[in-house]
Amino acid sequence: MKFTASLAVPLLDLSGYRKALHQDMQDMIAQAIVTWLAAVLDEIPVWSGASRATFIPLASRISHSVSIAPGVISRIGTGIASSAGGLEMDEQQGRYAFEYRTWLPWLVWNEYHNANVEPDPTLLGRLLKPGPYNFQVKGYEAFKQFSRTVDLPIVAPYVTSIRVKV
């Protein structure tokens, strides 16, 4: 007795899938930054605009704007000059990350202290929202919540098969 069969061998278009993955991850990291910024900026009050302006270098990496309307003299330039923001999108390593850094003295102080109780040397008057801001924790929580919604692209469109006689 003779039996014949055909076997379907799956083929994965790895290059096509990696391209789709890279595009999705670029979109997701940008959305993650917007989500993170919304959470942290919600904690940062506007007085001179300097503290909120520290987030501009990061936001500009994804062409996102930061709303700032100073109530007194503008120190937006001071905030921008006292911060840095980075974005890494390495397709080969599969690494997608962002970074925010500031050395603006009163923002750093207000992150951890109530400036009306423990004033920093640069404090000019009583603050309506004196801190501690805890914006780093709130940003981290927003990022974690967002990351739970991220899915990888579906593989099915990149899988084909060829029939092989056995």
What global pTM score does this model have? 0.85
Q: What is the pLDDT of residue 29?
A: 97
Q: What percent of the chain is predicted at pLDDT more than 70? A: 94
Asked if the model's pLDDT at residue 127 lies above 70, the reply is no
Asked if the model's pLDDT at residue 146 lies above 90, the reply is yes
Residue 163 resides in a domain: no
Residue 108 resides in a domain: no
Q: What is the pLDDT of residue 115?
A: 79
pLDDT tens per residue, range 89-111: 999 998 999 999 999 998 998 89
Q: Give the integer Cα–Cα distance in Å for 72 and 108.
A: 21
Q: What is the pLDDT of residue 8?
A: 86
59, two tokens: 């936001």
Sequence-separated (6 or more) residues with CB below 8 Å from residue 66: 37, 41, 52, 53, 55, 56, 59
Residue 28 resides in a domain: yes
Q: Give the integer Cα–Cα distance in Å for 164 and 130.
A: 72
Q: What is the pLDDT of residue 61?
A: 96
pLDDT tens per residue, range 36-68: 999 999 999 888 899 999 999 999 999 999 999
How many independent structural domains does the chain possess?
1
Containing structural domain, residue 15: 11-100+135-150
Per-residue pLDDT band for 125 (boundaries 50, 70, 90) equals low
Q: What is the pLDDT of residue 157?
A: 93
Rg (CA), the chain: 24
Residue 126 resides in a domain: no
Asked if the model's pLDDT at residue 71 lies above 70, the reply is yes
Residue 33 resides in a domain: yes
Per-residue pLDDT band for 118 (boundaries 50, 70, 90) equals confident
